[in-house]
Chain A
């Protein structure tokens, strides 16, 4: 079983749609959780951290379910500029970051 698993997609949605990505992790002792965004042929960049209580940043909402060991990212009112690959990242006890393979999103006009 992969340490961090994501649905690879691609997710093709129209502008204005709401889209949700899920991610599961295998290490129950994982400490902290993040979503990174990676544009085509570019480096990953931190999108947001994921807190136990859930957190929101504009159109983006991240949630964590420790009992089920999954993390989610919800994007509301999708924009063309949201097209990218979204990487789920989990920090384990050694503070090593484990990256999921990413979920590709394409937002179409």
Chain B
């Protein structure tokens, strides 16, 4: 199993550009999450999904959108990138009963200039 994979690993965007961060997992997990981690800060939940076709907002959803058309994939869309979205983005997944055990992808480092 590859676990949770994320692409790209790094990206530099200009203000106002858009992009999609890709996340995929091959563990058949229903629960998937997107977090952002700013320097010296804890992870903040952006969006999450409890299964294909179901998504919900987390703590910091503004400026982002998600979709979940399959169990495996959970892309995060940034529209009109802003410098405040410069961060490291982590995707994670877990089993239905594994409350505390989230499996994280390697992260995407995004810089908006």
Name A residues whose Cβ lies closer than 8 Å to a Cβ of B.
4, 8, 31-34, 42-46, 49, 87, 89, 91, 95-102
Count how many pairs of residues, one from A and one from B, have CB atoms less than 8 Å apart in the complex.
45
Query: Known: A97-B45, A101-B40. Contact between A44 and B104, CB under 8 A?
Result: yes
B31 to chain A, nearest CB (A): 9
B102 beta carbon closer than 8 Å to chain A: yes
Most buried by A among B35, B41, B42: B42
B68 to chain A, nearest CB (A): 18
- Residues of chain A within 8 A (CB-CB) of B75 are none
Q: How many residues of B contact A (CB 8 A)?
A: 18
Q: Is the CB of B90 within 8 A of A43?
A: yes
B100 beta carbon closer than 8 Å to chain A: yes
Since A91-B100, A101-B40 are in contact, a sample of 9 more A-B pairs with Cβ atoms closer than 8 Å, ordered by chain A residue number, is: A44-B104, A45-B104, A89-B100, A96-B58, A97-B100, A99-B43, A99-B44, A101-B41, A101-B42
- Residues of chain A within 8 A (CB-CB) of B104 are 43-45
Query: Known: A43-B106, A46-B101. Contact between A8 and B45, CB under 8 A?
Result: no
In the complex, A33 Cα to B100 Cα: how many Å? Answer: 8
